[in-house]
Amino acid sequence: MQIHGLQKMTLLDFPGVVSCTVFLGGCDFRCPFCHNYELADGTAKPVMEDDDLIDFLRRRKPLLDGVAITGGEPCLHPGLPELIERIRAEGYRVKLDTNGYHPARLQGLLDAGLVDYVAMDIKNSEEKYVATCGLHTVDLGRIKESIGLLMNGQMDYEFRTTVVREFHEAEDFERMGEMIRGAKRYFLQRFTDRDTVPFGNLSAPSFDDMKAYAAIARRYVADTRLRGVE
C-alpha cells in the first residue's frame, strides 16, 4: 500500500499515546474546508510504501507506542486491515480517523479487534451534510450506521466536528447533538485556514461562539470539549 504522508511523532493525534501519524490518499468527500485536500483529490504523491513504514516503525519502537491512521479516508482502501495487522504485529496500538461513510469496513475492523481508538467526523446537521461534504448527495444512513457501531460497541472512540463560520450555526449543534446523544465524548475544533484548503473566504468562529456551541452540544453529550481553541 502507498503511504502519502508521515508525521514522525505527535502527542495530539492519538489521545494519551505517543504516536506517529500515517496519511493515506483518496477520499469520497470533498469538504470545502479540508486541510488535506491534496490527499482527497489524489494530487499528493506517495512518500513511501507500506514496507518502508514498517521499517520506520521497527526503528522507532523505543520512542512510539501508537500509530494514528488518517487521510483522506483510510476505509476506502481494501488493504487497510492487512496494513493494520502488520502495524500491530510490531507491537503498536492503532487509532483510526474516518468520515464514517464505510460502516461495513469499519465493522470488519472492530470485529477483528484491529483498532484501539476511532475518531469519526460529524460534519454537520442532516440538512447541511451534503453541502458540508462538498457533494451532490450523501447516504446519511451510512453515517448513522457508523455512529451506531461506535456507540453500541466496546471500542474507545470520539466524535468530532470541524466548525466553520460559513457552515455552522447554533441550531446545527442541536441537530448533531441529537444524532450522537449519549456518546462517550465529542470534540469541537475550529477551522484553521491554510494553503491547501480548496475554497477561500472561509473563517473560524469566535471563541465565544465555540463556547456557546459546546454548551449546546453538552446537553446531548456530557463530555463535550473544545480542541485547539486558544
**pLDDT for residue 230:** 54
Coil, strand or helix at 138 = coil
pLDDT in tens, 23-50: 999 999 999 998 888 888 888 899 999 9
Dist CA 30 CA 191 (whole Å):
15
* Reported pTM: 0.95
Say if residues 92 and 53 touch (Cβ distance below 8 Å). no
pLDDT at 51 over 80: yes
Q: Is 113 left (phi over 0), alpha (psi -120 to 50) or beta?
A: left
**pLDDT for residue 197:** 75
- Bridging pattern class, strands 186-190 and 156-163: parallel
- Which has more confidence, 75 or 37? 75
Dist CA 82 CA 105 (whole Å):
12
Delimit the domains of the chain by residue range. 2-227
**pLDDT for residue 228:** 77
pLDDT in tens, 163-199: 999 999 999 999 999 999 999 999 999 998 777 676 6
Q: What is the share, in percent, of the chain residues with pLDDT greater than 70?
A: 97
CATH class of segment(s) 2-227 = alpha beta
pLDDT in tens, 98-138: 999 999 999 999 999 999 999 999 999 999 999 999 999 99
